[in-house]
Structure 1
Amino acid sequence: MTSTPPFTSTPALATTPAGSAASATTPEPTSEPARRPSTFAALRIRNYRLYFGGQVVSNTGTWISRIAQDWLVLQLTGSPLAVGITTALQFAPMAFFGLWGGLIADRYSKRRLLMITQVVMAVLATVLAVLALTGAVQVWHVYAVALGIGLVTVVDNPARQTFVNEMVPRDLVRNAVSLNVGNFQMARLVGPAVAGVLISAVGVGLAFAVNAVTFVAVFCALAAIRSRDLVPSAVAPRGRGQVREALRYAVAEPRVRWPIVLIFFVGTFGFNWPIILSAYTQQEFGGQAQVYGWLNTALAVGSLAGALLAARTTSSRLWVQFAAALGVGLLILAMGLAPGIAVFVVLLVATGVVSIMFNSLNNSTVQLATDPVLRGRVMSIYMLVFMGGIPVGSLIIGAVTDAFGPAVSQTISGVIIVVAALASGVIAMRQAGLRPHLDLHRESGHLMTITPVDERVRAA
């Protein structure tokens, strides 16, 4: 029996139905360079280097604010569910308006859109800082600011996700996307620790003020980018049915469809860290702000390592995404069963590595598989499913955590992700005409091979 290469983006997986929207526009070739790029290859590009530097500062401020926000809500309400509501309000707008945000990103200059969104976010951060510093803040103020940030993110996210394609050549897109993720995780490494110190020393108000100032760095970086060095994406013409066109494309193209399915389950049930870590801190590990900061830092260490590993990866094989999703589920399940803080922290680091590798590879695979004219809308679908699922997960996990504790909610989340990854992988292989075959005699040197269905029939 002859085995086929392991579950790659083969023609069987890439074929789209005739007459569908996807067949009307053919994506750019997705062949990867034979030689792995260096970890920081995209930073050789001046425009990307400027953008990356601005994001380092701004993302650090974002993490400082995020930790302060979660802690403030806990102080005001004492409820992990309230933290979940805050998270839900921040991500819910993507579920309702995300597709139209992607359409805006496809129609207008991504650089200008990003400059506008940074200004609006800076204003919202300033409002929250003033309320906290004056002692007038109430929980509904935090809810309102979270909702405002969510509305801005509807446009900011697809514009930011796809802007990388205008700054770097195609063969460095996967590397740049991974470095963007690493940038965010590097900020997570620093931000929570700084937030813990600020909250303990002077309170949450100054933390929000620091975040407001950091948006200036991104605005200045965007202003300094040389327009002549950019390669603008194709602009989507005005017309009817453009959102439906992107939806049809995402459903028809397997290299887009399955990453979106996986990110829904992993994002909804695996990325509820504000709820989980704050609840573990309060209910299991002593209730100190510094401990909450340390747990977030441990997660960031693993996440940064995962992003740097992903930056050197060139594979677009779908089985890697399924395996990574399965790994995330198993690690989260193990965290729910951890006997103490030492084991919990080790598993937290490992979960950070695997989850960010999964997220980075998923993101770049979708971008590279998508026609440039549709990229903003398709990425908005991706982010809609990812960020739109988080409010659902936040409410469910927040309620379960309130009722049964964080360990039970982590165990349930891990089981759901494991089952979803295994079931999706099996369905994807069947749709591609592939079947796994267990070789107990190991005559081929492999315990399991994957073969086309018709070949299995001939062999029989």
Structure 2
Amino acid sequence: MTLLPPVLRHRNFALFFSSLFISNTGIWMAQTAQGWLVYDLTGSATLVGVSFGAFGIPMLVLPYFGGLLADRVDRRRLMAMMQTGAAGIALIITALVASDNIAVWHLVTASFLQAVVNSFDQPARQALLPDLVPVEDLRPAIALNSVVFTGPAFIGPGIVGLMIGTLGWPLATAFLVDALSFFVVVAGLLLMRLSPFLPAAAGRDSFFAGLYFAAGHAVILPTLLLAAVTSLLGRSYQSLLPVIAEDVLDVGIQGLGLMASAAGLGTIAGALVVSSGRRLPRDGALALLSAVGLGLLQIGVAYSTNYAISLLLLFLLGLLITFMTTGIRAILQLLTPREMMGRVMSLNTMAVIGLGSTGGFILGPLAEATDVSLALAVTAAAMLLGVAALALSRRVLRAA
């Protein structure tokens, strides 16, 4: 008897999942170190938000071009090229931090460039997923795939807190691990055994075909709107965790690492629940109910002054984010034709990653103009209003 989810018995998916999990552990290490470094250099919540928000700017536009490319060229090769480019950017930042020549503008520029790379990597990655498992295993595969990024938040930030805060290792170590981890994904992609790639047929490979399809679909359009609202207003709280750790809870970089890890542990727990085959609501209802819980928990995080309670709330946030993400992606990937998968999933990438990162431009200045607790509570309340409007006006989404 094995404790591993059954979907990992598929060799290609196991390679995909494990390599990305390792790589994203490195990414979370670098993100945690970046947030701490920017706040240490400037003491500005706004600049912390800007350093993360810079990642969101290209992700608002470029992923659709990445999706168009993912529907026309071999998705595995496209991913391998983008992973190599991301490693190069991370190595440059490692050298700047190690030589003590780092400046905030370096980190902002690197975030922007990594987003350009990610704009072409993410659509290919999401479009590749249905080719790795049979359709009956798609929902658990989506759940585990959501853990590929958020799950390493349980490991990466904790490692940073241990290495830098406890053992006193150089901060550049986090960025070096991030750079090397991208090559693990390249190796995993090369080891996969996939059928020859078939590009989209003529007439369905045009630039606007994916947009027309998504905009005209009764379920896909409100699903994308739900992803957009919850990402902009309900997932950008992560950009203010360094401020909460330092100014509200006074727990330092070690405490910051555990806070991010608590959310990551929640995502892992959520994925295990979904992939175990337990009976859950339909995808649309699961996404909507989880979004409501996400807003309420964010308000709790905003006003918690107890470190243990904050860790519990962040764990539950991670749990519900996995449920919500699984519901949204399952709807999109089950209802989208394979030859348009890159473009439709790129719209989800723009909503989740682009708006999620861009939310830092809202939260950072709002927190500095008022305070961090009020900023989080206001954005959570606005998200709840948006979710309620979608749930009431789009009944088809609840039944999806």
How does the TM-score come out when normalised to structure 1? 0.81
Shift of 1:391: 4.0
1:190 corresponds in structure 2 to: 155
2: CA distance, partners of 1:300 / 1:386: 17
> What SS class does the counterpart of residue 187 from structure 1 fall into?
helix
**Structure 1, residues 398-419: CA drift from partner, whole Å, max 9, x if none?**
1111122221112112211211
- 1:279 aligns with one of 243, 253, 263: 243
SS at match of 1:254: coil
1:23 aligned residue: none
CA distance in 2, matches of 1:238, 1:199: 54
Q: How far 1:266 sits from its partner (Å)?
A: 0.9
Give the whole-Å Cα distance in 1 for the aligned partners of 2:353 and 2:17: 23
Matches within 5 A, 1:21-420: 40-200=5-165, 201-227=168-194, 230=195, 232=197, 234-237=198-201, 242-286=206-250, 288-311=252-275, 312=277, 316-420=282-386
Equivalent residues, number = 393
Amino acid at match of 2:231: G
1: CA distance, partners of 2:204 / 2:342: 16
**1 CA distance for matches of 2:133 and 2:285?**
27
Sequence identity percentage: 26
Structure showing greater radius of gyration is: 1
Does 292-301 or 175-184 show the bigger shift? 175-184
Asked whether the equivalents of residues 298 and 317 of structure 2 are also in contact (C-alpha less than 8 Å), the reply is: yes
3-state SS of 1:107 partner: coil
Gap change, CA 1:241 and 1:223, over 3 Å in 2: closer
Q: Deviations over 1:249-273 (max 9, x none)?
A: 1122233112211111110011123
Structure 1 segments unaligned to the other structure (5+ residues):
1-37, 435-449, 451-460
Q: CA deviation at 1:122?
A: 0.7
**TM-score normalised by structure 2 residue count:** 0.93
Aligned CA RMSD, in angstroms, stands at: 2.1
CA distance in 1, matches of 2:104, 2:132: 40
CA contact under 8 A between 1:107 and 1:237: conserved in structure 2? Answer: no
In structure 2, do the counterparts of structure 1 residues 249 and 39 end up closer, same or farther at CA, with 3 Å as the change threshold? farther
Provide structure 2 residue ranges, at least 5 long, that are not aligned to the other structure.
none
Whole-angstrom distance in 2 between the partners of 1:274 and 1:333 = 13
Q: Counting helix residues as a fraction of each chain, which structure ranks higher? A: 2
Paired with 2:42 and 2:62, the residues of 1 have a C-alpha distance of 29
2:186 match: secondary structure: helix
Rounded Cα–Cα distance in structure 2 between residues aligned with 1:225 and 1:344:
41
